[in-house]
Amino acid sequence: MGERLDLSALKGQASAQLEFQGVSKDVKILAVQDDIASFAEGWSKGNSWSDSVAKAFQGLGAQADWQAIHTHSQAIGKWPQAVPVATESLPTDKPVAGPVSTEPAEPIGVTSPAVEVMFTRPGSGEPPLDQKIAEFIKSADKTVDIAAFELESPVIRDAILEAHQAGKQVRMVTDSNYKDEHDIQALQAAGIDVIDDQRSGLMHNKFVVIDQGLADAAVLTGSMNFTDNGVYRNDNNLQIIRSPEMAENYSAEFKEMFENHQFGVTSPHYVPHPTVTVGSSRISTHFAAEGEVIGKVAEALNKAEHSIQFLTFSYTHDDVNQVVMQKMADGVKVRGVFDNTQAGSRYSKYHDLKAAGADVRRDGNPRVMHHKVFVIDEKTVITGSFNFSKSADKSNDENLLIIEDPAIARAYLQEFERVYNQAKPE
């Protein structure tokens, strides 16, 4: 299946004719909306056209702001430009081809005894990140706690099952929209406890904590959903941080959700170790929606002295944009890449920044540029599951790290340059 849908020509119409696989159909436009991150995220997860449509509207309908969105349903956006791939075309024993850089092969991340940074690079020859996650899970001695927005990866699923079968304590939290997915059901059938959030806001985390309380405790986190699309098609980043203090931070958040069923703003604002030094990295940990995370992002950006560079799936928040615009007016160099589908939204700050003269582009990945990253002054990195939007800050369960380390920043800038060079200048 290689069809693309572009509904931009339908603006102002209540009905239209849709051609699909050579067949013309009269359709009525009820709502077309790419202004909400979860709409495009749902689309990006689909393994077929019908699956993509269902997941896209499922994600849209789950938004806390749905009633407000519905009242503005006359606003016609552009359907996310994705190329659905059938499930049967996804072999589990080799990577699926994706966007391949024409640049010379470069290291995909930075590795140290304490912090490992990784990026999805389909076609690079490097081990795909589902294998890295599987290795991390299987390395646990005692416990594995997983907070995953969605699980649609046989490699990761089988690693979780193997850990469970080996007698390790395995627990999982997921989003209610995806609790009935096949791989989640396989875990439950094996006796693994899986809790969903049972609410309209998203449990949007993607992290794994192993061996909390032991000397070798570690956490894996980042922007990547635990899906084949996340691994093989979308642009994403992950970190493995080997630190008992960092593991305790994430374990505390996991327990609030799994043991106490506290999600979103009902979750306590508690981080045992707000700032931790791990190797050469100074890392601060933040959780939404209880932690007023957007203020922490704005505070970090306000410290920029000469450069702000970013890769963003969804960037719609006024507070963040006000700081970036002010810093640009103060002479700070601003460069950025927006996910192409999200940049087309009338809420995206792409338009404001472009009009102000910022060097911003739409990404060139035919699927999804899913990063949520700022790099400040080539030494500070903001990254995590947290989109720079009101729903991320006020409704969802999210995590975000602010990492002060020039070596880590260089790895992210390398990824920035790759995505920037493949992006679409206008």
The angle, 0 to 180 degrees and rounded to 10, between the axes of the packed helices 154-165 and 182-189 is: 10
How do 193-196 and 169-174 pair as beta strands?
Answer: parallel
Q: Catalytic residue among 45, 204, 354, 370, which?
A: 370
Q: How far apart are CA 293 and CA 426, in angstroms?
A: 32
Q: Catalytic residue among 372, 393, 397, 405, which?
A: 372
Q: How far apart are CA 403 and CA 333, in angstroms?
A: 20
Q: Catalytic residue among 70, 158, 377, 390, which?
A: 377
- Tell me the three-class secondary structure of 347-361, residue by residue: CCCHHHHHHCCCEEE
> 403 and 383 in contact (C-beta within 8 Å)?
yes
Q: Which helix (H) or strand (E) holds 52?
A: helix 49-61
Q: Helix H segments across 170-316?
A: 182-189, 228-232, 244-258, 293-301
Concerning whether 372 is annotated as a catalytic residue, the answer is yes
Tokens 């806001």, residue? 201
Concerning whether 377 is annotated as a catalytic residue, the answer is yes
Q: How far apart are CA 401 and CA 418, in angstroms?
A: 22
Concerning whether 379 is annotated as a catalytic residue, the answer is no
How do 275-278 and 226-227 pair as beta strands?
Answer: unpaired
Question: Catalytic positions, please?
Answer: 370, 372, 377
